[in-house]
Structures are given as structure tokens and as C-alpha cells.
Amino acid sequence: MIAAALSRSRLVAYSVFSVPLAMAALPVYVHLPKLYAGELGMPLALIGGILLAARLLDALQDPLLGYLSDRCTRLPLGRGLPIVLGLPLLACGFVGLFHPPQANQLGLAIWLIVNLLIVYIGFSAASISYFAMGADLSDDYHERTRVTATRSAFGLLGVLFAAAAPGLLGSDEASGLALFSLLFVPTLIVAAFVTLRHTPRPVIMAVPSATLRTILLPLRDAKFRWLMGVFVLSGIAGAIPGTLILFFVDDIVQRSDLAGVFLALYFVFGALGMPIWIGASRRLGKRNAWISGMFLAVVAFVWAYFLRAGDVVPFAVVCALSGIAYGAELAIPPSMLADMVDAQAQRERQRPDGVYFGLWQMIEKFNLAAAAGIALPLLAWSGYEPGALQHHAGSLAAVYALLPCAVKLAAAALLWVAPLDHSVGIGRNLNKEAGA
């Protein structure tokens, strides 16, 4: 029997929790380097090193957390248990990050490291179980894309709020982020309650292995290794501009007052473009739709290299078009991953959704860590300092715009040759249709 489509209300109930997860991710990813470098005076290279080390340490725990999420499916709360346990850690660490003490460079570095690790543990425990929960909601090839796209659209709402709220809440960036972090806590609690209370029961249940060897199971899947390689390249390409956008807006476009507007444009058009990629994945297949999104990202974003002071409208166009392309990155790869989990369940008598999504989140964190670890030291070595551009506009523009485009093209080329087409790992429903 082919599973019925999820009702809109149930799909919304599941997707609500992605709002606070996105609200937490954007400030840590975008605002944190600018806050600690610009407001608190920490060296860019030191911040980049801390972010790289903390994210790599955090990433190592994700496969284990995915394994534990699968084990929790046998308990009364199921995958909701890691979410409940992760909430206080995420809330406390997030508030701590944006309420730094008055301290010397060593004290600030220790504060940043400790609170980053607390945030990452809580975020990982909650988000891995949450994403695996989404994979359990349907065994239909196209319905999975609907689930991931709707979840991503709600996540973009959280990102929009996170982009706009700090500027509205405070007189400066530091005070706005401090107030935003306090507002984040009740939002997190309410959203978690709605999702855990009203998400429908899973259509398919994880069947975890009795041993920890399951953690390595995805790496034995050749198609997962291909998908992982593509996602690493594409993810790094997308993460570099996110790490540097506030520096670019301040020192190249020279309109720091419009930073929130540019971020909002990017994410609004990402949400508006989501139906495009759902339709494209149905018509072209998921792989070809993702490649199309990559090429759109390059064509739209390469023009940022040529922008100069006052180019507000051209940069707004760049943000809007690259935002549409970003929708493909949000909707399609997690859907392809869910297909692979289903194919794995057909080959072996176990279904370790959490392990797959734990390893996937580890890869996402590696992408963010690599972006910070590459981009910030490159700028520091080029002589760039925030607010003192001098003769280093070319290096900032090149790292911000040209480097991501080159990496994105490499990702598209790898995906083009990868054996990840419409006929591979597509779930039980299409297999039944093929045999009919």
C-alpha cells in the first residue's frame, strides 16, 4: 500500500520545530564571527581556528547521537527523547554565547569555546532526531521532498526572524543579539511542544542494530559516499559567503545598515523558490534538479565580485537569485538521503535512519568548519582587517565571491558523473511501480 500524503496540518506541526533550530543556527554561523571580531576585538585567525576546532569536535559526536536516536525509538518518547534532553543545553549555551563577559583575549576564547560546545551538543541531539523523524513520516519518493521542502521553508522563516530581529531589538548589534538570545528560549520550548505533541506517528520505524558497528554502515554504501562528496563541496561553497557576508556588506557595499535586508532577501527568495525545486525534482529527477540549482547559484553569485561601494540594487539582485538557488540545496539532498536509507532497509534487515542523519549532520558541520577555517585565515593572511579595508578589497571580494563559485562548479561536475539518478535508491513505492 502506498502511504497517503501527510495532511497539511500534520506537516506544519512537524515543520514548526525547524523555526527555532534555524533561529539558533544563523547567529552562530553569521553574526558570531563579526560580534567577537568587530565588537570584542578578537583576531579573525583566532576566531576561525576556534570555530574550526569546536565544529570538528562537535561533528565527531553526531554519528553516535544518530545511533542513540535510533535506539530511542524503542522507548516511550521515541525520537522525542533526544530532543527533550537537548533543549536545555541549546538554550543555555545560546544565551551564553551572546552575553560574553568583560574579559581578556584568553578569557573570551575560553568562554567562546565552552559555550559553542554546549550549543553544539544540544543542537545536535535535537536536530538529528528531528530530521530522522521526518524521514520516518513517509516511504514515498516524492512525498519525502514535500516533507523536506516544507521543513526547510519553516526553517527559512526562522532564519528571516533571526536576520531581522537583532537589528530591531537593540541599538547596536551586540545588544540586539543579547535580547534576541533571550527571546529564543521561549520560542524553542513552544515549538518543541507543538512538534512533539502533534507530529503524526511514523509510517516506517527505525530498526537499529544491537551494536555500535551500525555507525559505520553508511560509509559502506557507495552511493552515500558519492552523495557525501558532492555535499561537502557544495556545502563549503555555500558556507563561505555566509561566513563573510557581514564583512562584505560593511566594507565592499558599505551599507551595514542594510545587512538584515540583504539576508532577508536571500532567505525570502529561498522560501519562494521551494515550489520550483519540488516541481523540478518531479520533472527532472532529484540529481538534475540539484545540478540546475548549482548552476543558478554560480550564474547569480559570480557578479558579487564586481560590486563596489553603494551597489545596493545589484547586490539585492544577487541575494535574491542566489536565494532561489539555495532552495535546491535545502530541499533535494536530504530527500535523496532519505531515499538511500529506504534502499538500505531493503538490502539489510535494519533501518538506521538516525545513523545516516547523524553522519549527514557531521558533514554539514564539517562544511561550516571548513568554510570558517579557510575563509577567515585567508583574509587575515591577505592583510584584511574588518573596518580597515585599505587596499584589500580585491582579496575580500575574491574569497567571498570567486572561491565559492569555483567550488560550486566542482560540486556540480562531481554530481554530474555520480551514479545518483532517478533509478537508484528511490524507495519502495517506485520499486513497486516498476514491478507492476
- Looking at residue 407, what is its pLDDT? 94
Q: Please provide residue 82's backbone torsions phi and psi, each rounded to the nearest 5 degrees.
A: -60, -30
Q: Do the domain assignments include residue 436?
A: no
Cα 144 from chain centroid? 18
- Looking at residue 191, what is its pLDDT? 94
Sorted by sequence, the CB contacts under 8 Å of residue 179 that are 6+ apart come out as 166, 169, 170
- Looking at residue 353, what is its pLDDT? 67
Q: Do the domain assignments include residue 3?
A: no
Do the Cβ atoms of 357 and 128 come closer than 8 Å? yes
Q: pTM for this one?
A: 0.70
Please classify residue 203 by burial: count the beta carbons closer than 10 Å to its beta carbon, then call 0-12 exposed, 13-18 middle and 19+ buried.
middle
- Looking at residue 433, what is its pLDDT? 37
Do the Cβ atoms of 429 and 2 come closer than 8 Å? yes
Q: Do the domain assignments include residue 5?
A: no
Q: Do the domain assignments include residue 434?
A: no
What cell was used for 357? 542523519
Q: Do the domain assignments include residue 264?
A: yes
- Looking at residue 436, what is its pLDDT? 35
Tally the domains of the chain.
Answer: 1
Q: SS3 of 329, please?
A: helix
Angle subtended at Cα 406 by Cα 370 and Cα 160, rounded to the nearest 5 degrees:
60
- Looking at residue 205, what is its pLDDT? 55
CATH classification at residue 176 = 1.20.1250.20
Q: Do the domain assignments include residue 4?
A: no
- Looking at residue 204, what is its pLDDT? 55
For 104-133, write each residue's pLDDT tens digit.
Answer: 888 888 999 999 999 989 998 898 888 888
For 130-166, write each residue's pLDDT tens digit.
Answer: 888 877 777 666 777 788 788 888 888 888 888 778 8
Q: Which DSSP state fits 203?
A: S
Q: Do the domain assignments include residue 1?
A: no
Q: How far apart are CA 242 and CA 26, in angstroms?
A: 9
Q: Structural domain of residue 365, as residue ranges?
A: 10-427
Do the Cβ atoms of 273 and 265 come closer than 8 Å? no
Task: Identify the segments of the chain with pLDDT beneath 50.
Answer: 1-2, 210, 422-436
- Looking at residue 202, what is its pLDDT? 64
Angle subtended at Cα 57 by Cα 56 and Cα 59, rounded to the nearest 5 degrees:
60
141-169 vs 8-15: helix axis angle to the nearest 10?
A: 50
